[in-house]
């Protein structure tokens, strides 16, 4: 079961050949996906051999195999984690029932919307990143972004499989629509806010992988708890791929911080713009931006949608089955940060409607661990500066803080103070211009742009100066 059938047109471990109808639907969608990939996937480089990893089986040991492949020839397919024998619905009103192998009829609409929202983010991120190859800071980084891009493409396949296999004609229409919306498009935008923002440079890209892909981790982990078993198994396998995306983000920022510290020491100056580095305050402003738009992805603090997803058994909490409460939450409360006039206070709210906020809390704690590792690099260089996460109410567009202006330290400020200070808090036009000026491609194996340190080690045990993309 764990083995993947690579002999068929669509690699899969779901015995696709036994379901002709589904196979035809997916084979019909495949050329449309490839057309979308050519139109909206990485610009240039499609004919270049890239050292990529491909799943060969879904078990812990052998799922990754590395080889040179041209991106359009990457074997996108359908990979579900192993079924758990006797798995049950583990929370909500159906707790204790056998997990569903088919969609319960009355939940079709709700479940379809969750799957479509998840699926929509995957191609959106590829669209956002499509210009970045041209300005890569090294071949190593070029290979990493392409790895992320092909895997986000596969995540789209994962959701399209569920739509086509379980939602009939509606599902097939949604599969088409996933290829038609476009990140940032005025008429046909992607569904969630962060996926319509631009990712115009590599500092933004690494921040995106750190903050926005991490939303992916937490959303996928919640969906992996779903009573709808095919969704659970799909998300469990996606999570193994997601880990690499967050690694790319965290390690990328760490290398930029490292380089900043080296330049500060070398030139005994904080002004790195003369020396081709990215200064720590600029990194902080980018961090503030990407953190705040990613916090929005968790939805409103108080959400009846979230309560319904849970009660119906469709979307659980992070690590639901490791928790020891009743998994019903009808009586429980949860502390939620709220606006109270001119102050932000914490109040106990019914736990069910607070599930978005609870997941956001898990996410913030995870982000903080990464930021602490960046600060460790700064500390080791003997530099007195600390990167911090902005307050959760800062620069929000979704939820109760969307209506107020809040400083990164959590103070509610007047519009006048916001207007006077936001340049200290969010990337300025000046910052963006400077970062853009640094985006000069470096493609000689083993060489790196001035603003980023080399990684500690290469991919899959290879040297840092390995030819990760054959440009010749």
Cα(221)–Cα(235) distance, rounded to whole angstroms?
A: 7
Quote the least distance from Cβ 117 to Fe ion, whole Å.
12
- Phi/psi at 80 (5° precision): -110, 145
Q: Which is nearer to ligand BYC, 83 or 299 (CB)?
A: 299
Residues in contact with ligand BYC, counted by CB under 6 A, come to a total of: 25
Q: Using CB under 5 A, which residues numbered 198 to 257 contact Fe ion? A: 213, 216, 242, 245
Residues in contact with Fe ion, counted by CB under 5 A, come to a total of: 7
Q: Which is nearer to ligand BYC, 164 or 213 (CB)?
A: 213
Q: Which of 53, 154, 155, 327 binds Fe ion (CB under 5 A)?
A: 155
What are the DSSP calls for 238-289, one per residue? HHHHHHHHHHHHHHHHHHHHHHHHHHHHHHT-S-GGGGT---HHHHHHHHHH
* CA angle at 14 for the pair 13 and 17, rounded to the nearest 5°: 105
Q: Which is nearer to ligand BYC, 171 or 216 (CB)?
A: 216
What are the DSSP calls for 174-194, one per residue? HHHHHHH--TT-SSS--SSGG
Q: Binding of Fe ion at residue 197 (CB under 5 A)?
A: no
Of these partners, Fe ion, ligand BYC, none, which one is at the site of residue 118 (CB under 5 to 8 Å by kind)? ligand BYC
**Structure token pair of residue 423:** 């340049």
Residues in contact with 227: Cβ distance below 8 Å, sequence separation at least 6, in sequence order: 88, 89, 90, 91, 92, 94, 97, 99, 100, 313, 314
Residue 321 near residue 90 (C-beta atoms within 8 A): yes
Of these partners, Fe ion, ligand BYC, none, which one is at the site of residue 156 (CB under 5 to 8 Å by kind)? none
* CA angle at 192 for the pair 38 and 125, rounded to the nearest 5°: 30
Q: How far is it between the farthest Cα atoms of the chain?
A: 68
Quote the least distance from Cβ 173 to ligand BYC, whole Å.
18
The pairing of beta strand 333-340 with beta strand 343-350:
antiparallel
Q: Which is nearer to Fe ion, 154 or 327 (CB)?
A: 154
Query: x/- string (CB under 6 A) for ligand BYC, residues 303-322?
Result: x-xx--------x-------
Cα(57)–Cα(464) distance, rounded to whole angstroms?
A: 27
Residues in contact with 214: Cβ distance below 8 Å, sequence separation at least 6, in sequence order: 246, 249, 294, 363, 366, 367
Cα(469)–Cα(451) distance, rounded to whole angstroms?
A: 21
Q: Using CB under 6 A, which residues numbered 192 to 231 contact ligand BYC? A: 192-193, 212-213, 215-216, 219
Of these partners, ligand BYC, Fe ion, none, which one is at the site of residue 163 (CB under 5 to 8 Å by kind)? none
Q: Which of 23, 125, 138, 149 binds ligand BYC (CB under 6 A)?
A: 125
Contact range with Fe ion by CB under 5 A, out of 4-12, 26-34, 48-56, 118-126: 118-126
Q: Using CB under 6 A, which residues numbered 166 to 195 contact ligand BYC? A: 192-193
Quote the least distance from Cβ 214 to ligand BYC, whole Å.
8
Cα(299)–Cα(348) distance, rounded to whole angstroms?
A: 18
Query: x/- string (CB under 5 A) for Fe ion, residues 122-141?
Result: x-------------------
Phi-psi region of 82 (alpha: psi -120 to 50; beta: other; left: phi over 0): beta
Q: Which is nearer to Fe ion, 245 or 391 (CB)?
A: 245
Query: x/- string (CB under 6 A) for ligand BYC, residues 396-415?
Result: --x-----------------
Q: Which is nearer to ligand BYC, 228 or 385 (CB)?
A: 228
Quote the least distance from Cβ 50 to Fe ion, whole Å.
18
Cα(13)–Cα(82) distance, rounded to whole angstroms?
A: 9
Q: Using CB under 6 A, which residues numbered 246 to 285 contact ligand BYC? A: none
Which residues lie near Fe ion (CB under 5 A)?
122, 152, 155, 213, 216, 242, 245
Which residues lie near ligand BYC (CB under 6 A)?
114, 117-118, 121-122, 125, 152, 192-193, 212-213, 215-216, 219, 296-300, 303, 305-306, 315, 356, 398
């Amino acid at each position: 079961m764990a083995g993947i059938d690579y002999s068929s047109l669509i690699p899969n471990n779901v015995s696709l050949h036994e379901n002709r109808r589904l196979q035809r639907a997916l084979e019909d969608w495949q050329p449309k996906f490839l057309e979308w990939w050519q139109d909206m996937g990485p610009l240039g480089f499609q004919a270049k051999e890239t050292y990529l990893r491909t799943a060969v089986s879904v078990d812990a040991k052998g799922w990754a195999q590395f080889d040179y492949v041209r991106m359009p020839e990457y074997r996108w397919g359908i990979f579900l984690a192993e079924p758990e024998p006797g798995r049950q619905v583990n929370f909500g009103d159906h707790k204790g029932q056998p997990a569903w192998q088919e969609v319960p009829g009355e939940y079709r609409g709700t479940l379809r919307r969750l799957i479509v929202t998840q699926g929509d983010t995957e191609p959106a991120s590829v669209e956002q990143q499509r210009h970045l190859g041209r300005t890569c800071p090294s071949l190593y980084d070029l290979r990493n972004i392409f790895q992320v891009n092909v895997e986000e493409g596969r995540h789209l396949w994962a959701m399209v499989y569920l739509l086509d296999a379980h939602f009939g004609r509606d599902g097939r229409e949604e599969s088409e629509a996933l290829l038609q919306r476009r990140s940032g498009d005025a008429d046909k935008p992607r569904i969630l806010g962060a996926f319509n923002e631009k990712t115009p440079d590599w500092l933004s890209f690494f921040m995106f992988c750190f903050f926005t892909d991490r939303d992916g981790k937490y959303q996928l982990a919640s969906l992996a708890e779903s009573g709808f078993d095919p969704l659970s198994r799909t998300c469990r396998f996606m999570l193994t791929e997601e880990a690499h995306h967050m690694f790319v983000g965290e390690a990328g920022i760490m290398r930029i911080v490292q380089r900043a510290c080296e330049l500060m020491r070398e030139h005994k100056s904080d002004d790195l713009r003369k020396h081709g580095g990215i200064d720590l305050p600029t990194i902080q402003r980018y961090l503030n931006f990407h953190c705040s738009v990613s916090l929005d992805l968790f939805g409103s603090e108080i959400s009846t949608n979230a309560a319904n997803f849970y009660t119906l058994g469709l979307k659980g909490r992070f690590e639901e089955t490791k928790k020891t409460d009743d998994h019903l939450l009808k009586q429980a409360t949860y502390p939620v940060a709220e606006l109270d006039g001119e102050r932000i206070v914490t109040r106990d709210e019914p736990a069910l409607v607070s599930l978005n906020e609870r997941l956001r809390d898990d996410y913030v704690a995870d982000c903080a661990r990464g930021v602490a590792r960046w600060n460790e690099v700064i500390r080791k260089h003997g530099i007195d500066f600390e990167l911090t996460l902005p307050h959760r109410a800062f620069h929000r567009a979704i939820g109760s803080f969307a209506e107020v202006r809040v400083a990164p330290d959590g103070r509610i400020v007047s519009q006048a103070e916001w207007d006077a200070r936001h340049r200290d808090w969010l990337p300025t036009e000046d910052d963006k211009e400077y970062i853009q000026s640094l985006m000069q491609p470096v493609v000689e194996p083993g060489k790196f742009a001035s603003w980023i340190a080399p990684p500690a080690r290469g991919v899959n045990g290879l040297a840092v100066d390995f030819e990760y993309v054959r440009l010749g």
